[in-house]
Chains A and B, each alone.
Chain A
Amino acid sequence: MRLKKTSVGRRNFLKGAAAGAAAIVAKPAVTRAQQQAEARRAPVPGAASKEAESGAVSVDVQTCDHPGADYMVDVLKSLGFEYIFSNPGSSFRGLHESVVNYGGNKAPEFITCCHEESATAMAHGYGKVEGKPASVFAHGTVGLQHAAMAIYNAYCDRAPVYVIVGNSLDATQRRPGVEWDHSVQDAAAMVRDYVKWDDTPLSLTHFGESAVRAYKIAMTPPTMPVLVVADGDLQEAEMPDRAKLRVPKLTLAAPPQGDSAAVAETARLLVAAENPVIVADRAARTPAGMKLLVELAESLQAPVIDQGGRMNFPTRHPLNHTDRARALVANADVILGLELTDFWGTVNIYRDQQERTSRRGTKAGAKLISITSGDLYLKSNYQDFQRYPEVDLAIAADAEATLPSLIEAVKRLITADRKRALQDRGAKLATARAEALERARTEASYAWDASPITTARLSAEVWAQIKDKDWSLVSQPNFASNWPLRLWNFDKHYQFIGGSGGAGEGYGSPAAAGAALANRKHGRLSVAIQNDGDLMYSNGVLWTLAHHKIPILSVMHNNRAYHQEVMHLQRMANRHQRGITTAATGTTITDPNIDYAMLARSMGVHGEGPVTDPKDLGPAIRRALDAVGHGQPALVDVVTQPR
């Protein structure tokens, strides 16, 4: 539609150009300067153009007052999107322009990203703080291929991300050349294995329904990414009849609750158990989930192991026994797993030696109960579903939605005698928890003054300066030995956002940025412990932080390596009994060392470091926080121990 009605047409264009050239040639003799000036002047319109301007003949339509993309923006606004994370691309130029000029670039606002993987990871991080998805615009083929890794991370993390892909489906309407390279028969095919649902609407009404349906599907547990294709012609063509177009109503599905009989049996087993253990991974989808889990644990006086997929349980709660996970599992008679990614790995002990072996990590007769929406939706190709867990009771339901009925059933079963026994157990657990915190502090003290700086020292230095603020840790500190989770006092849902899901590098810095953007309007201080290898996948996000004035304190855990791979290479060399001193080859980020503070400053971010002396760390963090307090992003490069 774009070409057949609006183009001047190659034949007419050539005729006009020839006429213009002839007119110049026919002019009387002029000075050389005049000739040069004439050459610089805009070409004289051709005959066809003159006819078009005068209206003397039938002309192609070259403007459009109500492009289809305006309707698409109406739909996006109705879904409540605050932001669109994107790297610009011509396959969605119509939609992009409508967001800016029709939608006023507000709700949603276009956030300029330097890579589609970063754009998608920003949406991932945003969604985990805000509890609802952000949208990503991705260019057909090339943009979506860039975004694919981050979509996979979100899929593995069961996080809703809403991807819109531009594409030009009608081959007769494509611009010659690059647009063909950037068009595809079935755009979603390349990511279909790891999105929950996708569609390629063929009309605006179809787009409206699919867009709303996609949102509903993304938000129904298990939450996951979805994808809708916005065809280029639909975006750019005049709406056929705006009055007939309406935005469908969104009604989110109530999340599925566990079967009542199965919930009652779970309650019976938990109340009767002498050593029940609750294990939570992606259990608390919302702040309410965290409160419910506390209520269940306190009702039972049962210890909780938080595997950290979400902010499930306050870290300093007397019943948080994450530090004692293996011992608790080994001694448990009932284990309740809530939205576990890997129940098998939770109850088995696996050895990565030449002969890979595993053994059961629970005592005989221990009852395993699973509540997970993972049992409701599973795909085949990608293997993130882990080894088959042999549980005794499997409840296919959303854990958070099931907790109220489970708590009620548990409370009904607790007699006065049982309550006294549970309180005794709780008192012992509280003592053990206090001892575990002291143990963690003692462990943190080792190599306290070492250089490179320990991750424990780094975490303690950061905590000292944020603990009295309204903070949010927007990174996963697993490569920093989880010290923040061991030393800091997390008691709010937004204070931790879990991990990447798929362990794909390049998630950390953009997810932190997206989460920080979500935190900005709440006035929270966003803090990230940023791994160096991860930042080098996605350092363009530093520019996005500066450009959009997203305040965040990013403290580098700069061990100058892809350290997980250092250890893997070491393992292989040891196993093969050769070259055990070569683990740095291909796994380290040295020679030259990267100056991350300079990198940050080059993109408009406040930069400190590299800090190598632990005594310098506190003042550097203080200066960076001052910048963050003025609404800026700031980075402190800390040269650290490996883990």
Chain B
Amino acid sequence: MRRLVLLTVIAPVLVFSQTKGDTGGNAANGKKFFTSYGCWQCHGYEGQGGAAGPRIAPRPISLAALTTYVRHPTGQMPPFTSKVVPDSDLVDIHAYLRSVREPPAVKNIPLLNQ
């Protein structure tokens, strides 16, 4: 429990505001990279977040902010340096995160209104 609380609490709360101009990248490739590089491990396959990492999709932070953060994370996240993840792959990952669909509104999910 303790370890989990630590991860939950310390994980940085990212601001989910997409910067205009973030339009490039290949979402299909990005989805593959998201899986192969292990992003899903903490953030979930659709970037929905959980105890190990915050939600990062839909509406991700800007590509520039994402790139800065994954290169030099300030919280618990391990660094993804350019040596192992080139910038071009991050562009595709960002495209994937942008492509994740919005969930249904909570009021329309009966199971979340009980």
Contacts and interface: CB of A to CB of B under 8 A. Distances in A.
Interface of A: 307-309, 325-326, 341-342, 345, 349-353, 438, 441-448, 450, 452, 454-457, 460-461, 463-464, 467, 476, 478-479, 481-482, 487, 498-499, 503, 563, 566-567, 570-571, 573-575, 577-578, 580-581, 583, 641-643
B48 A450 contact: yes
A641 B44 contact: yes
Contacts of A442: 106
A454 to B, nearest CB: 6
Interface of B: 1-6, 8-10, 36-38, 40-42, 44-46, 48-52, 55, 75-76, 78-81, 83-85, 103-106, 109-114
Q: Which of B2, B10, B51, B113 has the most CB of A within 10 A?
A: B2
Q: Which of B6, B45, B50 has the most CB of A within 10 A?
A: B50
A353 B76 CA distance: 7
A521 B21 CA distance: 63
B114 A464 contact: yes
Given A447-B48, A464-B114, A577 B1 contact: no
Given A345-B6, A350-B6, A581-B37, A642 B1 contact: no
B50 A642 contact: yes
27 contacts: A307-B5, A326-B10, A349-B10, A353-B78, A443-B49, A445-B104, A446-B46, A446-B49, A447-B44, A450-B44, A450-B46, A463-B114, A464-B111, A467-B114, A478-B4, A482-B4, A482-B8, A487-B112, A566-B41, A574-B78, A574-B80, A583-B38, A642-B40, A642-B41, A642-B42, A642-B50, A643-B50
B60 to A, nearest CB: 12
Given A307-B5, A325-B9, A567 B42 contact: yes
B106 A445 contact: yes
Given A325-B5, A463-B114, A641-B50, A448 B103 contact: yes
B57 to A, nearest CB: 8
Nearest to B80: A574
A527 to B, nearest CB: 16
A570 B78 contact: yes
Contact of B111 (A345, A351, A460): A460
Contacts of B41: 563, 566-567, 570, 583, 642
Contacts of A447: 44-46, 48, 103
A577 B4 CA distance: 25
A351 B106 contact: no
Interface residue SS majority, chain B: loop
Contacts of B1: 307-309, 476, 478, 498-499
A574 B109 CA distance: 38
A446 B45 contact: no
A347 to B, nearest CB: 12
Contacts of B45: 447, 450, 452, 641
Given A445-B109, A448-B103, A460-B111, A580 B85 contact: yes
A476 B2 CA distance: 12
A103 to B, nearest CB: 38
A342 B2 contact: yes
A478 B106 contact: no
Given A443-B48, A642-B52, 6 more contacts: A438-B106, A441-B113, A448-B103, A448-B104, A482-B4, A487-B112
B111 A567 contact: no
Nearest to B40: A642
Nearest to B74: A351
A642 B7 CA distance: 15
A444 B112 contact: yes
Contact of B109 (A443, A448, A455): A448
A642 B36 contact: no
A411 B109 CA distance: 43
A307 B103 contact: no
Nearest to B78: A574
A444 B106 CA distance: 9
A461 B6 CA distance: 27
Contacts of A341: 2
A143 to B, nearest CB: 29
A559 to B, nearest CB: 10
A580 B112 contact: no
A389 to B, nearest CB: 13
A461 B111 contact: yes
Contacts of A574: 78-81, 84
Contacts of A499: 1
Contacts of A580: 37-38, 80, 84-85
Contacts of B2: 307, 341-342, 345
A350 B49 CA distance: 21
A308 B49 CA distance: 21
A567 B113 CA distance: 33
B76 A352 contact: yes
A342 B52 CA distance: 19
Given A441-B106, A478-B1, A482-B4, A581 B48 contact: no
Given A454-B48, A463-B114, A641-B44, A570 B10 contact: no
Contact of A571 (B6, B37, B44, B78): B78
A325 B8 CA distance: 10
A461 B76 CA distance: 31
Contacts of A464: 110-111, 114
A443 B55 CA distance: 8
A349 B113 CA distance: 34
A643 B51 contact: yes
A482 B38 contact: no
Contact of B48 (A350, A446, A498, A503): A446
A97 to B, nearest CB: 41
B81 A577 contact: yes
A463 B113 CA distance: 11
Contact of A351 (B5, B52, B75, B105): B75
A456 B4 CA distance: 16
A448 B104 CA distance: 8
A307 B41 CA distance: 24
Contacts of A351: 10, 75-76
Contact of A581 (B4, B10, B38, B81): B38
